[in-house]
Structure 1
Amino acid sequence: MKQVILLGHVQNYINQDYWDIIIHMKKPNRKTFQMNITMILYRDIHDVQVKGQIYKFVDGSYKETALKYDGDACTFLKTICGNMFQFNANKDVFKNFITKCPLKKGKYYVYNVNETFVRAPFIPVWRGKIEYSYFTDNALIYNSDAFFEVIEISKN
C-alpha cells in the first residue's frame, strides 16, 4: 500500500479578481503534516480548465513525467480530487469545501487534511511535485506547486 507524504506548497500566482486561496501547512508531530485550506470565491466561476503536470525529482531537479491532466474543473474535482482525497469516505471533513461543480461565490474551507486522506495509486514510489494551473476565459487565475513523496507502507 502506498501513502503520499505532503512536503510543502507554493502559490505562484492567484488572480484575486476571482478568488483568494489560503493554504496553511503545519506539522503537529514528526510523522504528520496537516493542511488547512480556505477558498473565498468573489464570483461564480464558469468554464474552468485545469492543467496539472507531475514531475519526478531526479538528480537534484524536477523532470517532467507522462502523468498529467488537461481538462475541465468539474471532471477534475469528481475524478482526480474525489478519488485522491477520498471525498466520499471523508464527507464530514469536506462538507464545507468545494467538491463538485458549479464553482459558486462563497467561502469554503477544509481543516486538518493529512496524509491519511490522500491516496494516489497511479503515482510511483518517488519524490516529486505537482504543478497545477486553473484557467477561465483563457486567462490564468491560479498557479501552484505541491511537493510530495510517495512511500510504500505496510497494511497493518
Structure 2
Amino acid sequence: MQAEFGASLQTFRGEHTLILAREQIAAAAQALRDRFQFEMLVDVTAVDYWPQEEPRFHVIYQFNSVSHHGLLRVRVPLSAAEPKVPTLEGVYPGANWYEREVWDMFGIQFEGHSDLRRIIMPYDWVGHPLRKDYPLGYEEVQFTFNFDDISLRKPHPKE
C-alpha cells in the first residue's frame, strides 16, 4: 500500500496512520475496501493547523475492518490556497454526511460530491466555525470579581 500510493506510515502506540497525497485518496480507499477488507468508513474529520504555513489542513479518515478487527487512519494534508480533496461517496456512500460536515465546519471542498451544502449551520451562515482564524465573537463570563467591568461594557435596555 505504501509503495503503490506513495504513502508514508506513522505508527504510535500500535495505531497506524497513512499519510497520502490528495490525488491518491480515492484509489487508496477503493483498495482498502476491495483488497484489504476495510468494509467501513467510520469517520471523516479535519484539523486546522493555522497559523502554521503549509499544509494548513489535514483531512482525516478512519477505516475499520470488521472481518480482521483492524482500524486504520489516513491523513491527507491540504494547502490553505486549495483546500480540496476528491469525494469518497462512490466508494463509501456513508461518506456523504461526513464530508458535508467537514465542508460546513472547515470549508474543505470535496470534489465530485453529490450534495455539498450545509448540514449543521444555517444555510445563510457566513464562514466555517472550526477554522482557527474564524472570529469568536463571544461574551465574557460574568463572575463576582469582574462584575463591575462587564456591567460597564454590557449593553442595557433603555428605561
Shared fold per TM-score greater than 0.5: no
TM-score normalized by structure 1? 0.25
Structure number with greater Rg is 2
Select the structure that is richer in strand: 1
Bigger share in helix: 2
